[in-house]
Amino acid sequence: MIRQPWSAFVVGGSMAFGAGLFLLAAGTGSAASAGGDRPRLSVSRAYMPPPGSATEVMAVATVRNAGGAPDTLIGVRTDVSTIVMMHEGAGSGMDMDMVDTVALPAHRSVALTASGRHIMIMQPTRALRPGDLVHLTFVFARSAPLSIDAPVTTAAGGPPAEQGGHRHG
């Protein structure tokens, strides 16, 4: 049996231990940065102005991405219709264009407004009156869907003062 001096074991062990720490740190760093490099979405200020028509109702909201990576809104579902579209443009049907997606940049809020991008609920299954709540589910390319109950308001100016809750994914 060949005997190695104890210093060879210490040096070899130290090198192996150091390499292990390096790999562990590299793995931890990647996991930590991956956690920071993902979207963190919330939806707030969702409401519906008084319906101007029994066949189409507009919904507006603010989608916030507090995360370090972008995401994309790819659709909205509701409990009052199977036809929900995203539009861009002013409220009259002639001035609106349908959009397939809405970009949600990192660290930004995107307002879906009556005069810009917004949600159109077509052919609701029931008459919507001020005070009613409509369940909306926002669907994203990367993140889990988010659901919120949006009130139908009495005025086109915005949600009722007490409305402001939101749900996170």
Tell me what pLDDT residue 159 has: 64
Instruction: Using alpha carbons, select from 148, 43, 154 the residue that is nearest to residue 102.
Output: 43
Q: Once rounded to an integer, what is the mean pLDDT over residues 59-69?
A: 97
Predicted structure pTM score = 0.72
Q: Are 126 and 67 in contact (CB under 8 A)?
A: no
- Looking at domain 41-158, its CATH class is mainly beta
Q: How far apart are CA 32 and CA 150, in angstroms?
A: 35
User: How confident is residue 69, by pLDDT bands cut at 50, 70 and 90?
Assistant: very high
Per-residue pLDDT of 141-169, as tens digits, reads 999 999 999 999 987 666 655 444 444 44
Q: Are 168 and 39 in contact (CB under 8 A)?
A: no
Q: What is the DSSP letter of 124?
A: -
